Amino acid sequence: MTILSFLKPVPGAKTGAAVLLSSVLLTACAMSPTSPDGSEDVRAKLTELQQNPDMTTYARVELRDAEAAVQLAEQPLDDDEAALAAHRIYMADRMIEIARAKGETRLMEAERELLGEQRDAARLAARTLEADRAHAEVSSQAEAAALSAREAEELQRQIDTLEAEATERGLVLTLGDVLFATGSAEIQGGTNQNLEKLVDFLKEYSDRQVLIEGHTDNVGSAVFNQTLSRQRAESVQRFLINRDIDSRRLTVSGFGFERPVASNDTALGRQQNRRVEVVIENRE
């Protein structure tokens, strides 16, 4: 006889039927199977891993296997199968831990690989920067050398124009006694081309210091010639100052007939000794 037969209405027995129905339902609920103890714990651990994006990225296959193991552990078993239930829960827990370990290991490997790539990129960038700096330095040196060569060429052209002589003291421009009348320290009227060239040169090379040295022949007394030589040097100094050459660059000396460049025994020699020498010092 089925449960429905028992539930068939009997006249005058409504209350009894209701009681019987409630009893049957309670018995059925009590007999419905449930998941083994511990299955909720492994499910919670698995859910935690599944919500971790790193784990789902680096342990995808292991999480899938752990999910299958948890689902098996969640299946209801009879009371006499407690050992099997415990084994399934243990295996599910192991599968979860394997997934966690695999995921963490692969995550560390990925991070280590990324750090290696970043380190290699930094080294490459450093080498590139060093190469760029070296190239820039070579280019700068080449430009400096080219500029220096051009400057040297221009200086030589200026020296040739000035008709100066390069010595250890510097560039020496000799101004003959045609600048002055006999026995006079005043520059004679008219434009002197050598002096004008000297002005142009000193303006071009404004960092050069200048020595202006007066010299005479041996005609007359030493005192007279020493004074005359200095006065002629000072006349050249005034000429340069009047052409806007800074006086602080100019040093004047008079040596009389102490430093002849030729013999005073001939008229030509004495003429060569009567001179003003302008020494343009070398740049340090």
Secondary structure of residue 34 in the 3-state scheme: coil
The whole-number pLDDT of residue 159 equals: 85
Taking each helix axis from N to C terminus, what angle separates 193-204 and 222-242, rounded to the nearest 10 degrees? 60
Residues 6+ apart with CB under 8 A from 198: 162, 173, 240, 278
CA angle 218, 224, 226 (to 5 degrees): 75
- Residue 131 main-chain phi, psi, to 5 deg: -65, -40
- The amino acid at residue 191 is T
The whole-number pLDDT of residue 215 equals: 94
Q: Which candidate, 255, 250, 235, places its Cα nearest to that of 280?
A: 250
How far is Cα 237 from Cα 251, in angstroms, rounded to an integer? 8
Q: Which candidate, 179, 169, 155, 266, places its Cα nearest to that of 231?
A: 179
**How many angstroms from the chain centroid is the CA of residue 49?**
46
The whole-number pLDDT of residue 190 equals: 61
CA atoms within a 13 Å half-sphere pointing along the CA-CB vector of 228: 22
The whole-number pLDDT of residue 144 equals: 79
- C-alpha distances out from residue 201 to 152, 240, 243, Å: 14, 11, 12
Percent of the chain topping pLDDT 70: 87
CA angle 155, 202, 241 (to 5 degrees): 170
Q: Enumerate the H helices of 32-59 as residue ranges.
A: 39-50, 53-58
pTM for this one? 0.52
- Is residue 98 classed exposed, middle or buried when 0-12, 13-18 and 19+ CB atoms within 10 A define those classes? middle
Q: What is the pLDDT of residues 164-217, one digit of tens each?
A: 898 998 999 998 877 877 788 888 876 578 899 999 999 999 999 999 999 999
Q: What is the pLDDT of residues 256-280, one digit of tens each?
A: 999 999 999 999 999 889 999 999 9
Q: What is the pLDDT of residues 70-126, one digit of tens each?
A: 999 999 999 899 999 999 999 999 999 999 999 999 999 999 999 999 999 999 999
CB atoms within 10 A of CB 39: 21
Residues 6+ apart with CB under 8 A from 99: 49, 55, 59, 62, 63, 65, 66
Strands 210-215 and 250-254, sheet pairing: parallel
- Residue 135 main-chain phi, psi, to 5 deg: -65, -40
**How many angstroms from the chain centroid is the CA of residue 4?**
92
pLDDT above 90 (res 230): yes
The whole-number pLDDT of residue 27 equals: 46
